[in-house]
Structure 1
């Protein structure tokens, strides 16, 4: 496949340009759900005349449905778009933003979806869908996949699917999470992912934040010990990223403890740890599940987070240096790049 694409790139480079243009049309229609020609032309910075010719061709191919209310993807269009996205950088190359972020943080892969997921539900859905497609490429038969809670990983669960050739996959929560909103608990998300993929799941019925005494007691329970052992040997870990103070308050952390964390420089929270702006873990909640030493050994760690207000937190977690892939949106990517460019002129962030 790679050889064929390289030959096409050399012999008929215009073919890949046409493919890229039609891919962008299908992608934007999918994001919008239903969209008029004029609005789509504006989004793509394309003349209506050129767009009309392209969309008519896509309609003839059975990929677009055009009605009085606008354009939408047919089922076949969705399948073609997903196939194109599986080929990803191989066909279209990485975008400039993706390459910059890869180089900034030394990541193996970066996916940047259009828009601002804090302002647009479509962009938030696309974050989940892009992460789901990435997982589809990396999950193997027999894998254990650990997941964190949160609104963004819940979006990933909605869009995750696996080919029938992948068997015996198990989804587990990365840590205890009782006490958070049920829809966004890691237990709920692990079970949703399993149901969508035909996989198995195990649940961890312990609170999110417990005392030292309770922790020691729970870790003596055979059933808890067994599931924790499974969690700590996950090959893949998918997690969200949060602002440190927002997450601490959401977890009803003692105000005095929150003030102490802020004084220590806590900027970001992920997988039960709080990090400063240099990516150094400075505070750990006492939770049952994955430990920092387990995270350091995981083969594939995928972070999913977007929105400009998360840029500082994402930057801190990426500086921690143990993620392999990042799925984010344009608004967060641009803000992170701006921060790095400023730090280059005015010293370390």
Structure 2
């Protein structure tokens, strides 16, 4: 039988029928008098030789896909989602929260358990959950309650909002987020009700956490009431660059050097690293170094942030 896949005229005719006139491969096989596998090979040859060029036109105003993929590769991330820059901090927080809500609705599966920390951006996510359907989700806090200054960023408040938005259930953690020393923490963790909730948190399929910055007086961490400017100054001198679930880490993501971490009532860091999908949400210039430390720590494997922050993260990694 004559070899026909090198017949340029036939390749062009096959490609025109398929791409311009929308015939199926079976229909083209009948028209040309060849087998369907031969049609498939002709179409492949058309692409490989440049007879057919496929161009993808992104309808979005800005295409951040290249930068997203770059950061994913640099830090070994599962996914990076970048949103437009906004001039106003409040609007920037809303844009990141919306993107995080969309991602959460995309990946969540029926019966999932979702762990949540504190944070202003994390708090906003529930506002943008729409028509989730019946998923039978359970929400659980990763840490105890923060100070009295801002009740709305209390983890129990946040999971209640998310459970309401998804029509799911929740478990509350009735414990302080921070105690005065490690021994008190150990005793608190022996309490059955507290132990049960934190053990349940280890079963989470998804984690949703904010990324804090100890050098930002306006951060949720400062709003918690557990810290003052003197504390944050000392943390800065010790090399603290950020926190997740009130556990501090340095620029390389190391958490062991900070004694404060031993006073936090919440899920252990190693347990967080075992959760399949850990979503970190953070934006703004003051959070860039904290995000870099979080990426190094491997406490998160999904990042939602804004364009300027993502650019700074990429530049930092390349300079290293």
TM tier relative to shorter chain: 0.7 to 0.9
Determine the structure 2 residue equivalent to 1:298. Answer: 275
Using the TM superposition, give the Cα deviation of residue 219 of structure 1 relative to its aligned residue in structure 2, in angstroms.
2.1
1:261 and 1:183, CA in 2 relative to 1: closer, same or farther beyond 3 A? same
**RMSD over aligned Cα, in angstroms?**
2.6
| Structure 1 gap ranges (5+) | 1-6, 25-43, 45-91
Using the TM superposition, give the Cα deviation of residue 170 of structure 1 relative to its aligned residue in structure 2, in angstroms.
0.5
Determine the structure 2 residue equivalent to 1:279. Answer: 253
Determine the structure 1 residue equivalent to 2:295. Answer: 318
1:269-316 alpha-carbon deviations (Å, 9 max, x no partner): 111211111111132152222111211211110111111221111011
Determine the structure 2 residue equivalent to 1:252. Answer: 226
Determine the structure 1 residue equivalent to 2:197. Answer: 227
TM-score, length of structure 2 as denominator length = 0.74
Q: Is 1:159–2:133 an aligned residue pair?
A: no
The whole-number CA distance in structure 2 between the counterparts of 1:322 and 1:259 is 24
Higher alpha-carbon Rg:
2
The whole-number CA distance in structure 1 between the counterparts of 2:309 and 2:230 is 30
The whole-number CA distance in structure 2 between the counterparts of 1:110 and 1:170 is 25
Using the TM superposition, give the Cα deviation of residue 323 of structure 1 relative to its aligned residue in structure 2, in angstroms.
2.0
| Structure 2 gap ranges (5+) | 1-18, 23-46
The whole-number CA distance in structure 2 between the counterparts of 1:255 and 1:132 is 33
Using the TM superposition, give the Cα deviation of residue 162 of structure 1 relative to its aligned residue in structure 2, in angstroms.
5.9
Determine the structure 2 residue equivalent to 1:83. Answer: none
1:287 and 1:309, CA in 2 relative to 1: closer, same or farther beyond 3 A? same
Using the TM superposition, give the Cα deviation of residue 256 of structure 1 relative to its aligned residue in structure 2, in angstroms.
6.4
Does the CA-based 8 Å contact 1:228-1:288 persist in structure 2? no
Q: Is 1:206–2:180 an aligned residue pair?
A: no
1:328 and 1:254, CA in 2 relative to 1: closer, same or farther beyond 3 A? closer
* Count of residue correspondences: 263
Q: Is 1:119–2:96 an aligned residue pair?
A: no
Q: Which has the higher contact order (CA 8 A, sep 6+)?
A: 2
1:157 and 1:287, CA in 2 relative to 1: closer, same or farther beyond 3 A? same
Determine the structure 2 residue equivalent to 1:174. Answer: 142
4+ residue stretches of structure 1 with deviation over 6 A?
none
Determine the structure 2 residue equivalent to 1:330. Answer: 307
Using the TM superposition, give the Cα deviation of residue 214 of structure 1 relative to its aligned residue in structure 2, in angstroms.
3.2
Using the TM superposition, give the Cα deviation of residue 257 of structure 1 relative to its aligned residue in structure 2, in angstroms.
5.2
The whole-number CA distance in structure 2 between the counterparts of 1:261 and 1:190 is 29
1:12 and 1:234, CA in 2 relative to 1: closer, same or farther beyond 3 A? same
Q: Is 1:264–2:238 an aligned residue pair?
A: yes
